[in-house]
Structures are given as C-alpha cells and as structure tokens.
Amino acid sequence: MSVELTLDDIADLRAYERERDEFHPYIIALKKKRRIHVGTIMTLLFENRHTIRFQIQEMARVEKIVTDEGIDTELRTYNPLISRPGKLGATVFIELISEEQLREWLPKLAGVERSLELHLGDGDDVEILRGHLDADHERTLSREEMTASVHYLWWPVTAAQVDKFEAGPVKVVCTHPAYLEEAVLTDENRASIASDLR
C-alpha cells in the first residue's frame, strides 16, 4: 500500500457519512496518542495516513467537495504531511482563542515556525533535528512581521534516528526567544509516531 492517499482512498460524501460514526472515535483516540502540547498555546499533531485521510474527508464534508478535481487539490495539499520512512510530518497549531490574544501573540511569535526542534536522547548523546517548513506552505507565508496560527512542518529522520526516537527520551523544543518551551514525549507518543517511520 502506498503511503500517500489517492482518489480511491477518499469516500464520496454519502459513503463517508455511513462510516463516520465509527471512524471519528478511532481518529480521536489516534490523535490523542500523537498530540503534543508545548507550553500553553502550542500543540503539535504528528500526522499519518489515517489523520490526513480524516482531514480530507472532513474538508470534503464541510465544503461539499464532490469532484475528483476538488479532492485532488486536497490530496496535493495534505499528502506531503504524512509521516513515512525518512520523514516525520506534523501540523503545528498556535491555539489562541480571542482577538486580543491573536493581536498580542502572532506578531510576538514571528518566525516561530522555524524554531522547532526534536531532541533525541539526552546528555552528551542528544541529537537535534531541526524542523523544515513544507515548501507549499512556506510560499503562503506572506508576512514576516507575524506568524500564522497553523504551520506544516517536517523533520528528516534516518533509520538510526528512528531507533533512537523509539528508545527515548524525545523532546519537542521551541527555541523562539518569546516562547522558550519544551515537552517530553510519552512512551505511548513515541510508539505511535515511530510506527509510521518504519
């Protein structure tokens, strides 16, 4: 089975409505294992084939996308985020709920999307992987004086780094001067995320 999703993987709206009651709770449970809170306003969701299929199905459902061309656009947008051997993908959310918070934090966090690292191991043995912006997403970032509230990042990972990821510890570290935060992945986080990298 190909890692990337194709038109054949995306159910039409009526078929999706029939499976949604079962699929939705499965995805909620899966995302719980793959969601990492970094500080108080940042969350990373490490994506895989199932989370991205859910994203596309829900987009099609809400926006009533029924043509192959419309679904193909979504596939081109979201397929690069799927974690796979050699590449770990995540959606980064800056979770601000009020207009006041948006006005305060989005300018303060300008460039935060280039400040996310994974630290594999600890002490003298720590290996630092720097996040990369998805190329298509980077082209949409038109304002340097503020950040966006959603970013698509990826990290290159070798087979040896996957071993180290599984063994732990692993931290997500934000090095932005206005948001120096980190979070340690649990055993459950690491096991779920690493399963896509083999």
Q: State if pTM tops 0.75.
A: yes
Burial of 25 (0-12, 13-18, 19+ CB in 10 A): exposed
> The tokens of 33 are what?
């294992």
Instruction: Give the pLDDT confidence of 41-53 residue by residue, as tens digits.
Output: 999 999 999 999 9
Q: Taking 70 as the threshold, does the pLDDT of residue 1 lie above it?
A: no
Residue 1 corresponds to which tokens in the numbers above?
């089975």
The confidence score (pLDDT) of residue 141 equals 67
Burial class from Cβ neighbours inside 10 Å (0-12, 13-18, 19+) for residue 133 reads: middle
The pLDDT assigned to 138 comes to: 72
- Calpha distance 162→191 (Å, rounded): 10
State what percent of residues in the chain have pLDDT above 70: 97
- Largest Cα–Cα separation, the chain: 55
Q: Which of 118, 114, 95, 108 is nearest to 178 (CA)?
A: 108
Q: Label residue 31 by pLDDT band (50, 70, 90).
A: very high
d(CA 152, CA 81): 7
The residue extents of the domains of the chain are 7-194
**Burial (0-12, 13-18, 19+ Cβ within 10 Å), 34:** buried
pLDDT at 142 over 60: no
- Mean pLDDT over all residues of the chain? 94
**How many angstroms separate the Cα of 141 from the Cα of each of 32, 59, 137, 176?**
28, 21, 7, 18
pLDDT above 90 covers a percentage of the chain that reads: 90
